[in-house]
Amino acid sequence: MAIKSVYIESEAYLVCLTHALSTEREEIMGLLIGEIDEENVSRISAVIMLRRSDKQSDRVEISPEQLSAASTEAERLAVELDRPMRVLGWYHSHPHITVWPSHVDVRTQAMYQMMDPGFVGLIFSVFNEDKNTKQNRIQVTCFQASDNGSDYTRIEVPMHIVPSKKIGSACIQSLVTLPDILTMEEEEAYQRAAENKDIDLITKVHNASVYTKSLCHVIDVMNGPVLQTLENRLERNKNRIHTLEKEKQELLKILSET
């Protein structure tokens, strides 16, 4: 079942992009939640960010336990939103490199498609400088894998971003959870280093300093912008409520006069 195209809601796209921009040192990953319609069009409306047990600059891995937990979360969202929801695909970032999937990415995608032919992959190329403008640019590709007999090849899937006027509770929860995920990743890395009993005192102090710096980075880069985004959203909602109240009073006035 080849997917004809992918429609991702702008709020879900925002979560993926925010996650991809959270670090330029290693790749990040997550899972895409939504439904596939009768025309084999994948419609993505939510995202589940995954915590990396082993941060790598050139690869990401999703454990069976994470897939199982994501399926359970999709079922919960289906009940909450009263519509079909399941895991439709995965996304990960390519910091400082091209957007095109590597051979490992394509083989990983092929493995997922063996379990679900409708599975798709998104790649976000971030922190990649444009040679002409000298500015960082963001590129996104959506793909599936095809078996050509000797190996797997990439099939590009058309992707469309669907505008939305609000951020749903599922996407807000993902944004709020991101700083916690990054903090847990840094804590686990620090604890693994601390378990090494052969390191000297200077190395221990250095590791503690790096850990503290990493936590400060999370607060500076993630907590502040997320809080500002939510405050801006609250202010727009208040203005919208005020406008609707005025319209309501005008309508009530018109009705009373008729």
State mean pLDDT over 223-236: 75
CA–CA distances in Å: residue 83 to residues 79, 86, 137, 171 = 7, 10, 35, 16
Report yes or no: 179 and 222 within 8 Å, Cβ to Cβ.
yes
Give residue-wise pLDDT tens across range 120-134.
999 999 988 777 777
Residue with tokens 């996104």: 140
Residue 229 has pLDDT above 90, yes or no: no
State mean pLDDT over 168-176: 80
Helix orientation angle between 169-194 and 10-20, rounded to the nearest 10 degrees: 20
Give residue-wise pLDDT tens across range 45-74.
999 888 876 656 556 777 778 888 888 888
What is the C-alpha separation between 46 and 33, in angstroms, rounded?
5
Give residue-wise pLDDT tens across range 86-110.
999 999 999 989 999 999 999 999 9
Residue 213 has pLDDT above 90, yes or no: no
Q: Does domain 5-162 have CATH number 3.40.140.10?
A: yes
End-to-end CA gap in the chain: 59
Torsion sign across C-alpha atoms 38, 42, 45, 49: positive
- For the record, the structure tokens of 49 come out as 């960010």
Of the ranges 131-135, 183-187, 233-237, 250-254, the best mean pLDDT one: 250-254
The helix/strand/coil state of 161 is strand
Torsion sign across C-alpha atoms 84, 182, 6, 112: negative
Give residue-wise pLDDT tens across range 16-42.
998 998 888 889 999 999 999 889 999
The mean predicted confidence, pLDDT, of the chain is: 85
Neighbour tally for 92: CB within 10 Å: 23
